[in-house]
């Protein structure tokens, strides 16, 4: 299975150091998705990361950085978001409805199926979580597979179950970043250790 790590939704001081260590540990797909829409912070983070890892990075905002930093690709956070005009390169999308999967797979190199669980970082209006029955039916119909990755509150314990359902990968965010307090800690060992466990299971 493919392991995708998604950044925290906020930028923080030690972020480039931790991400560099994760790349050194074998991370080969990082998605940078931030609530802060200022391009300056993204540019700064990218400039602090060794250029040898840039091709393993996908951005969810400020798509011009894909060319400027020779990144791996861009990600569209919904079916109603359009790729930049004339874009040529790796393109991934987020899908929140099993019924959209077939069409979205044709338009993308890979797809995130969200709402596997209720993510903690969400809007005031909670999103509907996909039921086990819906996921089993999607698997039975062959809608999942190699290019569909499970997203939304995915933890270490979920990975064997998601593999059984024929997901091609998992997107992990909180399960990893919860191992590090950005306000008080400088010990990166717990987050690196947890990444190793995730990688071993994938």
Burial class (CB in 10 A: 0-12, 13-18, 19+), 30: buried
Instruction: Flag whether pLDDT at 175 surpasses 90.
Output: yes
pTM: 0.92
Q: How far apart are CA 13 and CA 183, in angstroms?
A: 9
Residues near 81 by beta carbon (within 8 Å), at least 6 away in sequence? 93
Instruction: Flag whether pLDDT at 125 surpasses 70.
Output: no
Instruction: Flag whether pLDDT at 124 surpasses 50.
Output: no
Q: Which of 60-69, 118-127, 167-176 has the lowest mean pLDDT?
A: 118-127
Domains defined along the chain, listed by start = 2-201 (3.20.20.70)
* pLDDT at residue 187 in the model: 81
């Amino acid at each position: 299975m493919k392991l995708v790590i998604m950044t925290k939704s906020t930028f923080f001081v030690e972020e480039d150091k931790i991400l560099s260590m994760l790349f050194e540990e074998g991370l080969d797909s990082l998605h940078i998705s931030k609530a802060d829409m200022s391009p300056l912070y993204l540019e700064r983070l990218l400039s602090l990361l060794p250029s040898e890892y840039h091709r393993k990075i996908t951005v969810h905002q400020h798509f011009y950085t894909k060319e400027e930093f020779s990144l791996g690709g861009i990600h569209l956070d919904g079916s109603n978001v359009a790729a930049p005009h004339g874009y040529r390169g790796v393109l991934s999308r987020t899908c929140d409805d099993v019924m959209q999967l077939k069409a979205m797979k044709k338009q993308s190199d890979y797809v995130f199926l969200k709402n596997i669980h209720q993510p903690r970082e969400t809007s005031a209006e909670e999103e509907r979580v996909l039921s086990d029955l819906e996921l089993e039916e999607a698997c039975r119909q062959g809608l999942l597979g190699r290019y569909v990755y499970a997203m939304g509150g995915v933890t270490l314990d979920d990975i064997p179950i998601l593999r059984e359902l024929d997901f091609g990968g998992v997107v992990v965010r909180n399960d990893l970043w919860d191992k590090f307090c950005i306000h008080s800690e400088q010990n990166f060992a717990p987050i690196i250790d947890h990444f190793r466990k995730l990688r071993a299971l994938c």
